[in-house]
Amino acid sequence: MEVSLNFSGGAELLFGKIKQHTISLPAEETWSMKKLLNWIKDNLLKERPELFLQGDMVRPGILVLVNNADWELVGQLDYLLQNKDEIVFISTLHGG
């Protein structure tokens, strides 16, 4: 399963300044957003995980969009990823 991740507004600074990532996840498992965030933390996040995640959640001040819709409208942590999904993380924090 292929998923596109985009980090912007300063969030990319925590990911080696790379904004666009395309990742492939094993399709035989089900992938919730919660699981994806953990995967990002273990595989992509380069430094200071607390500036991206707060507990299981994305830190306040970082907007998450799933296929151009606010993730709060599609189930947030419980949303189940589908092939070719586009996930966008936009940080609006000054000290990000």
CA distance 86 to 68: 8
Q: Which of 4, 8, 32, 39 binds other proteins (CB under 8 A)?
A: 8
Residue 54: count of CB within 10 angstroms of its CB: 13
Q: Does 48 interact with other proteins (rule: CB under 8 A)?
A: yes
Helix (H) or strand (E) holding 5: strand 2-8
CA distance 37 to 2: 15
Q: Which of 3, 5, 12, 52 binds other proteins (CB under 8 A)?
A: 12
**Number of residues located near other proteins, criterion CB under 8 A:** 31
Q: Does 88 interact with other proteins (rule: CB under 8 A)?
A: yes
- Where b means 16+ CB within 10 Å and e means fewer, 71-87 reads beeeebeebebeeebeb
Q: Does 4 interact with other proteins (rule: CB under 8 A)?
A: no
Q: Does 47 interact with other proteins (rule: CB under 8 A)?
A: yes
Query: In terms of residues, how long is the chain?
Result: 96
Q: Does 55 interact with other proteins (rule: CB under 8 A)?
A: no
Query: Which residues of this chain interact with other proteins, rule CB under 8 A?
Result: 8-10, 12-14, 17, 19, 47-48, 51, 60-61, 63, 65, 68-70, 72-76, 78, 88, 90, 92-96
